Amino acid sequence: MARDRKELEHFLSQQYLAQSLTLAEIGTLLEYTECVEFNKDDLVADVGEVGEALFFVLSGEVTLFHVSGKNEVEVGRMLAGELMGEMSFFDREPRSARLKARKKQTEVLRMSRAMYKRLRVEHPYIAVNVLEQAIISLDHLVRRMGKSAANLSGYLFGSGGRY
């Protein structure tokens, strides 16, 4: 782990994920995660896998790609402070996007399904914070997609949106 624990606790205390948690609770949350570092273009998660982990970006960037055959089309980027992988994690459907590190030394916190289940039982208040972050993350994703679709529609059909 490139960051020391105190630095990581401080960083998380500034993020929505842990805003309502005490430093002790943030420390507890860290006990249920592992810090994973990726180099540029490393695969974080792939299309078709069922999400067995949630990821919280600590540093760097992760690019989301739609995959069609051998073609990858960038559909989004996840920055420090953002949660990813939550859709497949919670609905247990195969991932619809490929996640790759965009920058070298991209760090993420990884929480496995088993650890999340333990967290729910042992520290439900902290688990609720993770779940809230997942809901907000999905909301942001839907809003960004809606805005992108509206912009594309405006481009294709003019500002009136007529065919």
Alpha carbon separation from 26 to 23, 30, 84, 102 (Å, rounded): 5, 6, 19, 27
Question: Does some domain include residue 157?
Answer: no
Residue 81 belongs to a domain with what CATH number? 2.60.120.10
pLDDT tens per residue across span 25-83: 999 999 999 999 999 999 999 999 998 999 999 999 999 998 988 899 998 888 898 88
> How far is 62 from 40, CA to CA, in rounded Å?
9
Structure tokens at 73: 């089309």
Q: Kindly state whether residue 159 falls inside one of the protein's structural domains.
A: no
Q: What is the span of the domain harbouring residue 78?
A: 5-152
Whether 158 is in a domain gets the answer no
Amino acid 26: pLDDT: 93
| Spatial separation of the C-alpha atoms in residues 87 and 18, rounded to whole Å | 20
Q: Which two tokens stand for residue 2?
A: 């490139």
Residue 71 in any domain: the answer is yes
Inform me whether the pLDDT recorded for 2 exceeds 60.
no
End-to-end CA distance of the chain: 54
Domain contains 32: yes
pTM score > 0.85 for this model?
no
The string of pLDDT tens digits covering residues 152-162 is 566 666 765 55
**How many folded domains does the chain comprise?**
1
Residue 161 lies in a domain: no
